[in-house]
Amino acid sequence: MKHLIPLVLLGVITLYACTTEKENEGPDPEPTDRILEELAFSALPQTTASFLLSENADHVNVMGNQRKPLPAFKSLSVKPGKALGYVKDSYGRPVAGAHIGIRSSVVGGVYSNGTGVTNDKGYYEFTIPFGTAEFFSAAYTIDYGAGRAAIGLFPADSTLNSFASEAGVVKNFVLLPYGRGKSDAVSEKPWFGRNYFGGSIFISYDTKEPGDIWAPAGALLEGAEFELRLEPEEWLFHAAERKTIVIRKKTANLNFTIVNIPVGRYKISARLVGGGDLRLKEIGPYASSSFGLSPKQSVGSTTIWFNPDGAQASSTAAYTGNWRSIDVKIEMP
């Protein structure tokens, strides 16, 4: 009998450990979970979107309110003091290795962090530090161009409010290639590239009147109309189509931003309408980055990779894009 008690205790401990491990693995996917097929780049349907901007337009959102359909998620029960949920991509596939972070505060300005990483089912679960809690990060890092890029995740229910840590929270996230982030932020700053999950390009140029010998070199004539084209090249992230973007604008205000461009690699070209090719030149503090234009300046066309604001998923915010705008100046050659 003396030898039986330790064996019974060992069995209870083993059963508890297995139960806890199973809980942390998360429930198995539903048999009806729908996973969409990802098409090869060459098989994607080709489309064109054209935009004629007013002279004083300061931005153009090339995907508008369009967003890839969000996948369905298995219903989960809230666990007091725990954060749990799933991360999927826009095809409905589980995303393993996504980083989820929550910070809690009892005294204003002093925070404790709790973090988790999704397993091969795309499931995460971890204990939330005590206090008023909020998600400070939710992101996934991908191979992109010659480096890596951390992409923020979209909350599937379109909300990300603070909550009491003891109440627990269930929050599912989706990895998106483009789309609007927080509606309030987009409403306040529709021209701000980081408010979208797609990439952004800041276009600038100088203008001059005919015969102005003091104008900056490369200045375009006032009132001239130019055309920019963005054509997907060989690689698009989780794309449903190969969309060529064509933008026409007259020179009036000296800059505007192209926002919410589906993540990928593009051929960018510029020309005067009814005239010749223009020079594209990357400028600004990140012009030396391995991302951006390649080559950094060219007449007619060049290749563009969007510039990620880091590769660390643990420091990348949820519900917002993580792409720096690429500063591109267009000039007469």
Q: What is the CATH number for 145?
A: 2.60.40.1120
Which of 146, 175, 204 lies at the terminal end of a domain, its last residue? 175
Please give the pLDDT value at position 15: 32
Q: Are residues 61 and 138 in the same domain?
A: no
Please give the pLDDT value at position 77: 96
Q: Are residues 274 and 311 in the same domain?
A: yes
CA distances from 183 to 88, 164, 261, 319 (A): 21, 24, 17, 10
What is the pLDDT confidence band of residue 10, given thresholds at 50, 70 and 90?
very low
Q: Are residues 161 and 278 in the same domain?
A: no
Please give the pLDDT value at position 213: 86
Cα Rg, the chain, nearest whole Å: 25
What is the pLDDT confidence band of residue 109, given thresholds at 50, 70 and 90?
low
Buried b / exposed e over 261-274, threshold 16 CB at 10 Å, is bbbbbbebbbbbee
In the predicted structure, residue 18 carries a pLDDT above the cut 50: no
Cα–Cα distance, 74 to 93 (Å, whole number):
13
Per the domain annotation, does 32 fall within a domain? no
Backbone angles phi, psi at 70, to 5 degrees: -80, 140
SS3 per residue for 166-219: HHCEECCEEECCCCECCHHHHHHCCCCHHHECCEEEEEECCEECCCCCCCCCCC
In the predicted structure, residue 32 carries a pLDDT above the cut 60: no
Q: Are residues 194 and 311 in the same domain?
A: yes
Structurally, the chain folds into a number of domains equal to: 2
| Token pair recorded at residue 196 | 């979208």
| More confidently predicted of 31 and 271 | 271
Per the domain annotation, does 78 fall within a domain? yes
| Averaged pLDDT for residues 166-183 | 96
What is the pLDDT confidence band of residue 139, given thresholds at 50, 70 and 90?
very high
Q: Which positions ≥6 away from 150 have C-beta within 8 Å?
A: 139, 140, 141, 308, 309, 310, 311, 312, 313, 315, 316, 322
| Residue-wise pLDDT tens digits, 274-290 | 999 999 999 999 999 99
| Averaged pLDDT for residues 238-255 | 94
8-state DSSP, 222: T
| Averaged pLDDT for residues 35-44 | 93
Q: Are residues 93 and 213 in the same domain?
A: no
| Averaged pLDDT for residues 194-199 | 96
Cα–Cα distance, 197 to 180 (Å, whole number):
6
| Averaged pLDDT for residues 160-178 | 96
Q: Are residues 159 and 235 in the same domain?
A: no
Which of 157, 175, 193 lies at the terminal end of a domain, its last residue? 175
Please give the pLDDT value at position 20: 34
Cα–Cα distance, 63 to 65 (Å, whole number):
6
Burial class (CB in 10 A: 0-12, 13-18, 19+), 30: exposed
Q: What average pLDDT does the chain have?
A: 89
Per the domain annotation, does 130 fall within a domain? yes
Q: Are residues 58 and 77 in the same domain?
A: no
Please give the pLDDT value at position 185: 93
Q: Are residues 58 and 198 in the same domain?
A: yes
| Token pair recorded at residue 249 | 């604008």
Domain that includes residue 163, residue range: 73-175
Percent of the chain with pLDDT over 90: 81
**pTM to 2 decimals?**
0.88
| More confidently predicted of 79 and 29 | 79
Q: Are residues 254 and 303 in the same domain?
A: yes
Q: Are residues 216 and 160 in the same domain?
A: no
In the predicted structure, residue 21 carries a pLDDT above the cut 50: no
| Averaged pLDDT for residues 4-16 | 35
Per the domain annotation, does 5 fall within a domain? no
In the predicted structure, residue 118 carries a pLDDT above the cut 90: yes
Q: Are residues 188 and 155 in the same domain?
A: no
Please give the pLDDT value at position 12: 31
